[in-house]
Chain A
Amino acid sequence: MTPGVAGTLDLEKLFAARLHAARVRPYLATALFALHTVESRLVPTMAVDRHWRCYVSPAFVARTPVEELAGVWVHEVSHLLRDHHGRSDRVASERGLTGPGDRLRMNIAADFEINDDVFGDGLTPPEGAAEPGMLGLPEGELMEDYLRQFRLGPYTQGLAWLDCGSGADGLEREWDLGPEGANGLTAQERDAVRFRVAQGITARPGDVPQGWRRWAEEAFHPPQPWRELLGAAVRPAASGPGAGEDYTYGRPSRRSAGLPGVILPSLRRRPPRVSVVIDTSGSVGDAELGSALLEVAAIVRAVGGRRDLVSVLSCDAAAQAVQPLCRAEGITLVGGGGTDLRTGFATALRASPRPDVIVILTDGQTPWPEARPPCRTVVGLFSRRRAARSWDEDDPEYVPDVPPEWARVVDIG
C-alpha cells in the first residue's frame, strides 16, 4: 500500500479498475496483482518502472472512468511482461540510438505493439491511446519493426505527451524509486511472475488472443535466427565421424618420432560431400530459396568443404539432373507443380561417391522416405504461417506429413 498523503488518490477506484481488468483478462491476474502502486504527482497518467512499480497520478485517476483505467492497467503490465525496457536497451545499443527523442520513439513503438491487440473484449481503450493506424502502419508487428518505420515529426506531435515510464523504454525517470527503493521485484522475482503468466496462458490457450499465446511460447525461448540454427545443424553433420575431420590410428602421427614407444593418432581430413535437394514446387518462393541456398554453400565452405563437393538438385514431383555448385553460379531451379521429395532422396543417394550429408530445403508439403537414408539429413523447413494450412484444394482436410524423426529440422523464415 502507498504511504503518503491520504485521501488524494482514489485507491478504491484504482483497485476496482484492477479487479475489472483481472476479471476480463484472468491470465494476467498474477502480473496485475504483482504490481506495486506508488502515488506520484510527477507522472502525467500512469507509468511503470523496470522493478514492477506502478506510478499513478491522482488527478488522472479522478478524471478517468473505471473501464478506461482497467485498460491502462493492462497496457502498463503488458510493457513489463513483454520486457520492453530490456528490448529498448538492446535496440539502443545495437542501433546506436541515444537521446530522449529515440526513447520517446521506443515508447510509441512499444505502445503500438501492445495497443493493436489488448483492447476490446471487455476493455475500453483509454482516450488518446497510440495505435499503429495513426501513422498509417500495419497492425500486429513488433516494437523493433515499428521503430524502423517512423520518425518524430508533425504526425507524431499528438503522441509527444506519451510517457509509460522507464518500464516501457528503459530511460530512468525523475520519479523512479530505482533498484534500491522499496517494494521492487528482483530480476528473479520478475522472471517468476512472467513465467507464471506464460504458464497460465499455455495451460488454457482457448480464450487467450493469438498475440498473448505467441508471447507465452516465446517468453523464455526467444526464436533464434534460422541462419545460426541451420549452420549449427549442418556443421556437425558435415564434420561428424565418418565425414570431415577425425582421428585415426591408421597412419602414424608426425609427433610419433619424438616419442618412441608411444602410439599417437593423427588427424585425417576428408572434406565432406554435401547434396542439397531443393524443393522447387510451386509453394516455395524464389527469394527464400536463393537465400537458403547461399547460406548452405557458405556453411559448407566454413567446415572445409570444397565447392566441387557440393551438388544441388532441384526436385518437384520428379528429380532433375544433379548440378555441381562450382559451375552453377546461377543454378537453374526447374520445377513448379507438386512435390515428391522421395525421388530427390533417391537421386542424391545414387550419386557416386555417396554424399555424407543431404540438406533438404522444402516447405514440408511432401511425402517423406519410409526408411532412414544412410547419411545425415538436415531439413530446412520454410514456415507457412501466413499461407492457408492446406495445400490440396480438392481435399481441404489434408495435412502434410511432418519431417521424420531421423532428420534434424530447422525452421527457416
Chain B
Amino acid sequence: MPTSSSVTTGASSGPAHASRLDVAADLLALLHDTATEPRIDTQLEALTLAVAADLPVLLWGEPGIGKTAALQQLAAALDLPLTTVIASVHEPSDFSGLPVVGDDPAVQGVPMAPPDWAVRLAQSGRGLLFLDELSTAPPAVQAALLRLVLERRVGALRLPAGVRIVAAANPRSSAADGWELSAPLANRFVHLQWVHDHEVVVRGLGGTWPRASLPRLDPERLSEAVTFARRAVCGLLAARPALVHRLPSNEARRGGPWPSPRSWEMALRLVAFATAANTSRDVLSLLVRGTVGDGPGLELLAAMDRMDLPDPEALLADPAAADLPERGDLRQAVLDGVVEAVRRRPEKSRWDAAWALLVRALETGAPDLVVVPASTLAALRRADWDVPASIEQLAGAVSLSRRADEAAVRVAAVAGTGR
C-alpha cells in the first residue's frame, strides 16, 4: 500500500499527519458541498417578518431540529452578523452588567460593565443576537434578560436599534431540568413553534437544503398597511373588550403567548408588516397566534376575514354587479349580512335589491344557502310592498326547502313510532 509505505519511509511523521488530515478535509468538503432549492417555508417566513418588524422572537422546539441553522440562514438573508449567547451558562450579571468598583465609588458610583459580546455588538451597530437555551436559564438570569429583551440594555450599555433579538427555548416536556417562562417575559415575545419537516430533513441530508424566499416590504403599500392593521385590531378590541387583557389562568397555557395591550401592539405591527409584505394568511396566523395566544389570535384573523367580505351596503347599491364569495360559509355570512342591513333600514328599494341578490346567489352557487336568508327576508315584508317578479326564480330554493321539511317530518315520525 503506497500510503502506508510513505508514512513509514517519510522523513518525519509531521507531513504524513497533515496529509491524512488533508484527506479528511477533502471528505468534509464533499459532505459540506450541498445545493439549495427554493421552497415555501412558512415558519422561516414568519420568523423573518417578525425580525424585520423588530419584535423579539422566541423559537420553541425540541433540541437538535435546526433552530440554530435557521438562524444562520436568517442572518445571511438579512445580511446581519450573528452573535449567539447561551443564556443558561451565563450569570445574571452578564446581562444586567458587572459592578466594577472604581477609585472613588462615592463620587463616581459603581458602573455596571457590559460583557464583551455586548460591547462588540454595540460597536458594529447592527447584528442578530441569538439567546439560546432561554428556558433552562435560572429564574434570576431570566429576570435579567427581561431588561435586555425589553429595553435592549446590557448594564450601562444600550444596544443600537440595528440589533435584532431572537431567543430559543426547549418545550418543557423535553427540558427535564428546565424552568418555565414567567408570564411577563412570555408576554414580550412572539412565540413560534419550530417543528421539522420530515421531507425537508430527508432531502437536506441527501444534499439539497431548502432556500426560502423571504418576504419583501412593498414601499408603495406602507400607509395602506398601517391603516388596515389599525382598523383590524381596533375594530376587534372595540367589540370585544374582554380580549384586551387576559392573564393565562390555565396551567397548560403558562409560559406561552397571552393577550395584553403590549402584545396587541405587537400584533398590530405584525399585521401591518404582513400586509405590506403581502405574505400569506398562514404566515400571519402563526405570528398573531404566537403573539396574543390561540383564541384571541383566531378571533383577529376571523375579523380580518370578515373585513375581506364585500360590504352589504355596496352589494345592495348594485346587486347586478355583485361578486359573491365562492366558499359556502363565507357566502352565507354575506347573505346574512345583507338581510341584516335591510332589517336595520327597511326600504322598498333595498328589499327589492336584496331579492335580486338572492336570485344571483342561487344562480351562481349552492341553493341551500339561500333558503334561510330568503325566509328571513320574506318576513321583513311590509303590507304595501309588492312581491318582486324575480321571486319566482327562487322556486328552486323553495322546493329544496320543502324536501328538507319532508325529511324532517319523516325523521320525526320514525322517532315517534320508535318510542
Contacts and interface: CB of A to CB of B under 8 A. Distances in A.
> Does A pair with B?
yes
A236 B302 CA distance: 36
A394 interface: no
Contact of B407 (A16, A33, A239, A265): A16
A306 to B, nearest CB: 16
Interface string A231-252: 1110110011100011100000
B83 interface: no
A220 B298 contact: yes
Contacts of A187: 282, 285
A189 B329 CA distance: 11
B113 interface: yes
A241 B298 contact: no
Interface string B377-419: 0000000000000000000100111011011101110110000
Contact of A191 (B176, B298, B369): B298
Contacts of B101: 261-263
B358 to A, nearest CB: 15
Contacts of B180: 232, 235-236
A350 B406 CA distance: 74
Interface stretch (A20-28, A100-108, A141-149, A340-348): A20-28
Interface string B29-46: 000000000000000000
A210 interface: no
Interface in A187-213: 187-189, 191-193, 195-196
Interface in B125-150: 138-140
B400 A12 contact: yes
Contacts of A409: 251
Contacts of A37: 366
A12 B399 contact: yes
B410 A67 contact: yes
Interface string B340-371: 00000000000000000000000011111101
B301 A12 contact: no
A232 B404 contact: no
B252 A17 contact: no
B332 A29 contact: yes
Contacts of B259: none
B403 to A, nearest CB: 4
Most buried by B among A16, A24, A189, A221: A16
Nearest to A121: B415
Nearest to B295: A220
A19 B371 contact: yes
A220 B294 contact: yes
B328 interface: yes
Contacts of B328: 32-36
B91 A264 contact: yes
A309 interface: no
Interface stretch (B16-24, B92-100, B212-220, B228-236): B92-100
A1 B366 contact: yes
Contacts of A123: 411
A246 B220 CA distance: 52
Contacts of B9: none
A323 interface: no
A307 interface: no
B172 interface: yes
Interface in B268-315: 280-282, 284-285, 294-295, 298-299, 301-302, 305
A186 B179 contact: no
B250 interface: yes
B411 A19 contact: no
B98 A263 contact: yes
Query: Lowest 6 A-B CB distances belong to which pairs?
Result: A33-B328, A16-B403, A19-B368, A66-B407, A34-B329, A20-B404
Interface of B: 91-93, 98-102, 113, 138-140, 172-173, 176-180, 250-255, 280-282, 284-285, 294-295, 298-299, 301-302, 305, 326-329, 331-332, 364-369, 371, 396, 399-401, 403-404, 406-408, 410-412, 414-415
26 contacts: A1-B364, A12-B403, A15-B400, A16-B403, A16-B404, A33-B331, A36-B327, A65-B407, A67-B408, A122-B408, A188-B301, A192-B301, A192-B302, A195-B302, A220-B294, A224-B251, A231-B172, A232-B251, A232-B255, A233-B251, A245-B138, A247-B138, A263-B99, A263-B101, A267-B91, A411-B251
Given A19-B404, A221-B253, A235-B179, 4 more contacts: A30-B332, A65-B407, A66-B403, A188-B280
